[in-house]
Amino acid sequence: MSTAIASATVQETSRTPHRALLARIPTDGQSAWQLSHSHSLPTLSEDQVLIRTSYVALNPFDWQGVEFKYGIGEKAKVMGRDGAGDIVAIGRKVERFKLGDRVWFCANSSASDTGAFQEYSVHSASEIGHTPNHLSDQAAATLGTGLITAGVALFRTLGLSINSLSVSTKATRKENAPWVLIWGGAGITGVYLIELARLLGYRVICSASPANHEYVRSLGADVVLDRWSNPKELVETIRKETKDQVHIAIDNVGGATAALCRQVLQGSLSWRSNNNVAMDEDDKLPAELVPIAGSPKDTDDNGDSIREVTSLRISFSTTFYGHPEFSEALLDRYDKLLEARLLTPARIRLVDGGLYGIEKGLEDLRHGRVPGGYKLVARLADTPEPTTINVQRQRQDDDAQVGAKRTWEIQDVVREQRTAKRFKDDVSSPQEEAEVEPGPRSTRSAIIA
């Protein structure tokens, strides 16, 4: 059952309707992305809140969904998962929040009107977290998918206890604390996995690019290895550093590295024999692998393994979304950790142009142009008005005609007027029509009136 948003709340909003970035299956070489300046304000159910979003963060899933046509169709849909802002309306059954609360979220992409890439979105009150006073919305927007994925992996997939997370002080570890292997420690999920594993009292060994080693160590990793090293040498080094005692591994990279994680988890009789490492009954206990980014291929056991390895499937739909008994417990614990400054948000790189700049940001993610440990974040207030966008589109067409390679920037009004005049003098009518009917080479967002 939906309820109308109270008129007093609507009066607080700066625009009704509002701005949103949508995606659809593209046709005839058109861009999949469409920037609307007249999107309908979502309706509110009794267990939801309406969030006025100030910052959104970009995820690989955002471009993958469009590229592989997952979760989109011919009808345009608001995309995006991560964001932060403040609550401007509350359903009548909501008790966890009040008007004006600052919050962060990881949107349920299967629900209606939850997409992050819009100024106003609705979310279940059981699936959003409080933003503490000391944390900016810009920083809070980085939490979403990475922190929730880390929590689901640790506390549902692996079954560790949420209550084991200390919320008063950083956990003190036993000298012989168990190891956890995190492959891809500088990825956003890896960043939060390292922090949570350390708070749980684990010793952390992980792989990362050399440029990120110092950063990953600052998060709490005990041993950091070069992810670009020879795979066989990496496995050998992990055995040496851990004395072949890794029973938990989480892979954030892909099927090939998940296979290396499993190889580590299996242990090695020959390595122990060659290195005079004794084996007890605990060493034979089963190991668990969480392959977040791709499952490892099945391989034959060559008889050298010590232990069985179970590959566990991670799922949001069966654990977090629609499961308030877990989501609320996890988010309440996160609230306390963030308030106590025991969790540090990922590093940030701001995307120019607000909603308009997201498409380029996703292209940067897709082609590996974003350094590890950084989250691309867009400020929605930076979204330009349609007239500014149209002039920018004309400028890009003009630059393409003369073979120039320039980076689009949002210009001040005076410069835009000069650019528009130059375009009118130098460019023919068919190219002027490109702002409405972009050709196959265009990658910029369409404009919906």
Q: Which residue in the block uniquely carries the two structure tokens 């990793």?
A: 221
pLDDT of 277-309, one tens digit each?
Answer: 999 899 999 999 999 998 998 766 678 999 999
Within a domain: 129: yes
Within a domain: 334: no
Quick one: 207 and 286 in the same domain? yes
Q: Where are the beta strands (DSSP E) in 131-262?
A: 179-183, 203-208, 223-226, 246-251
Quick one: 371 and 426 in the same domain? no
Domain containing 404 equals: 386-448
CA gap 56, 358 in Å, rounded: 9
The region, left, alpha or beta by phi > 0 then psi within -120 to 50, assigned to residue 341 is left
Quick one: 157 and 233 in the same domain? yes
Quick one: 410 and 366 in the same domain? no
Helix axes 144-152, 188-199, angle to 10 degrees: 50
Residue 157 sits in a domain whose CATH number is: 3.40.50.720
Query: Is residue 251 within 8 Å of 279, Cβ to Cβ?
Result: no
Quick one: 372 and 398 in the same domain? no
Quick one: 120 and 180 in the same domain? no
Residue 105 sits in a domain whose CATH number is: 3.90.180.10
What does DSSP say about strands 102-106 and 82-90: parallel, antiparallel, or unpaired?
Answer: antiparallel
Kindly tell me the sign of the dihedral angle through the C-alpha atoms of 264, 267, 272, 278. Answer: positive
Within a domain: 338: no
Quick one: 197 and 85 in the same domain? no
How many domains does the chain fold into? 3
pLDDT of 185-202, one tens digit each?
Answer: 999 999 999 999 999 999
Quick one: 296 and 210 in the same domain? yes
pLDDT of 134-144, one tens digit each?
Answer: 999 999 999 99
Sorted by sequence, the CB contacts under 8 Å of residue 247 that are 6+ apart come out as: 178, 179, 265, 285, 286, 287, 288, 307
pLDDT of 259-279, one tens digit each?
Answer: 999 999 999 999 999 999 999
Q: What is the pLDDT of residue 284?
A: 93
Within a domain: 80: yes
Q: Measuring CA to CA, which residue among 337, 271, 275, 344 is closest to residue 302?
A: 271
